[in-house]
């Protein structure tokens, strides 16, 4: 029974891997064969998600593939992020975190205030505003799905909020790496913090960081963006109880939710991989063992990028442009304003905080 349960995931996982392989091949053909570079300047992750969107909207994806596609964009993505931890050392995690935490707090407060003012003008439901707010400031769809039952959001409100995360998340994921490189003159700290705070979904941040790494050869930016986003994800533990209180403060009803149930545990896997890297660096000291250890690190890094690119292909396959098009415009105005707000606040605040904490 257990074997059959996981066997149904195989077609969708294979399809995601095939799209990754095709994206890598297309990337090599364009970047190396046609443009003549030794290493392609084009991002495989970007090609993977665009190819996924194209195929997912031109062809109807069979039911037999959907479970595996969903598994890939949820769990293989997390596995890829955990593997990224091999690139970091503990002191780097703490260094970036000291800047990221106050920056995240300022971004969250700013978006909440702006959305609160905006919904009075557009007259959309408070529940939908809460969903868009927490999705934009914390961790996208995951935050929306965790918050929805607490405030009793209906299906259409959830759908609108998730559509916001999809549309504006993909836009920022594809544009922000290039914008940030120009605006911040390629500074990996500023670029990484910006990508980690200004893009909605964990998958989108990971993809943007990977695109930046592949385009501008900056693994440090990918590390900083990932750390910032994972710290941001842990704010679910604070924001969901806060939203539950704010929404239900005038009622006598109590809401049941578990802090353990909403905690993003893959963050612990990422930290565990950082510790594993540090232990390995101290343990493997002879010439032969160092070579073996460095080879293992390289394989884990490569695996992380493969897993993330597979997840991007799966995200693309799951993006239904027709459903998004059929929705009303008002919630998207809120989503757009939230996107612009968190981006601008991120830029302004990070320049202040980085001078304060890293001077």
Per-residue pLDDT tens over the stretch 150-188? 787 877 788 788 888 888 888 998 899 999 999 999 999
CA gap 149, 165 in Å, rounded:
18
CA gap 158, 133 in Å, rounded:
12
The per-residue pLDDT for 36 is: 67
The per-residue pLDDT for 265 is: 77
What percentage of residues in the chain have a pLDDT greater than 70? Answer: 88
Tokens of 79: 């596995």
With b meaning 16 or more CB within 10 Å and e meaning fewer, what string describes 6-15?
eeebebbbeb
Region 58-81 average pLDDT? 89
Confidence of residue 141 (pLDDT cuts 50, 70, 90): confident
Closest-CA residue to 310 (of 25, 67, 39, 49): 49
Q: Looking at the predicted structure, is the pLDDT value of residue 81 above 60?
A: yes
Region 325-345 average pLDDT? 82
What percentage of residues in the chain have a pLDDT greater than 90? Answer: 19
The per-residue pLDDT for 241 is: 79
CA gap 103, 91 in Å, rounded:
19
Pick the range with the lowest mean pLDDT from 76-80, 198-202, 253-257: 253-257
CA gap 94, 23 in Å, rounded:
35
Backbone angles phi, psi at 187, to 5 degrees: -70, 115
Where does the chain have alpha helices with state H?
2-7, 10-28, 44-58, 63-71, 77-84, 90-122, 126-134, 140-151, 155-183, 188-198, 202-216, 219-233, 236-248, 259-262, 266-283, 287-318, 321-325, 330-358
Q: Looking at the predicted structure, is the pLDDT value of residue 58 above 70?
A: yes
For residues 80, 82, 87 and 93, what is the CA-based torsion angle, rounded to 10 degrees?
140
Confidence of residue 354 (pLDDT cuts 50, 70, 90): low
Tokens of 285: 């000291």
Max intra-chain CA distance, the chain:
68
With b meaning 16 or more CB within 10 Å and e meaning fewer, what string describes 199-226?
bbbbbbbbbbbbbbbbbbebbbbbbbbb
Mean pLDDT of the chain: 83
Confidence of residue 15 (pLDDT cuts 50, 70, 90): very high
**3-class state of residue 38 by DSSP:** coil
Region 313-332 average pLDDT? 77
The per-residue pLDDT for 120 is: 73
The per-residue pLDDT for 300 is: 93
CA gyration radius, the chain: 20
Burial of 69 (0-12, 13-18, 19+ CB in 10 A): buried
């Amino acid at each position: 029974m257990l074997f059959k349960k996981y066997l149904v995931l195989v077609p969708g996982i294979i399809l995601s891997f095939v799209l990754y392989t095709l994206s890598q091949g297309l990337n090599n053909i364009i970047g190396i064969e046609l443009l003549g570079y030794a290493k392609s300047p084009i991002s495989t992750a970007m090609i993977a998600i665009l190819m996924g969107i194209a195929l997912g909207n031109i062809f109807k994806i069979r039911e037999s593939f959907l479970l595996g596609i969903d598994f890939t964009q949820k769990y293989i993505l997390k596995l890829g992020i955990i593997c990224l931890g091999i690139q970091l050392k503990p002191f780097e995690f703490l260094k970036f975190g000291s800047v990221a935490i106050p920056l995240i707090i300022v971004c969250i407060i700013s978006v909440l205030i702006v959305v609160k003012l905006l919904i009075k003008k557009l007259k959309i439901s408070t529940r939908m505003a809460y969903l868009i707010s927490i999705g934009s400031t914390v961790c996208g769809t995951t935050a929306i799905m965790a918050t929805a039952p607490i405030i009793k959001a209906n299906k259409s409100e959830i759908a609108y909020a998730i559509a916001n995360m999809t549309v504006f998340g993909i836009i920022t994921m594809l544009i922000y790496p290039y914008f940030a490189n120009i605006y911040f003159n390629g500074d990996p700290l500023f670029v990484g913090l910006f990508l980690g705070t200004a893009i909605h979904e964990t998958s989108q941040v990971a993809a943007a960081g990977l695109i930046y790494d592949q385009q501008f050869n900056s693994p440090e930016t990918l590390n900083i963006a990932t750390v910032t986003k994972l710290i941001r994800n842990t704010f679910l533990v604070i924001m969901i109880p806060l939203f539950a209180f704010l929404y239900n403060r005038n009622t006598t009803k109590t809401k049941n939710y578990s802090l353990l149930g909403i905690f993003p545990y893959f963050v612990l896997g990422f930290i565990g991989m950082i510790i594993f890297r540090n232990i390995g660096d101290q343990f493997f000291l002879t010439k032969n063992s160092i070579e073996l250890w460095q080879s293992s690190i390289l394989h884990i890094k490569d695996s992380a990028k493969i897993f993330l690119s597979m997840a991007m292909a799966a995200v693309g396959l799951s993006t239904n442009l027709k459903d998004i098009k059929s929705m009303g415009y008002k919630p998207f105005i809120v989503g757009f304003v939230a996107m612009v707000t968190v981006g601008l606040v991120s830029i302004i605040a990070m320049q202040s905080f980085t001078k304060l904490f890293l001077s």
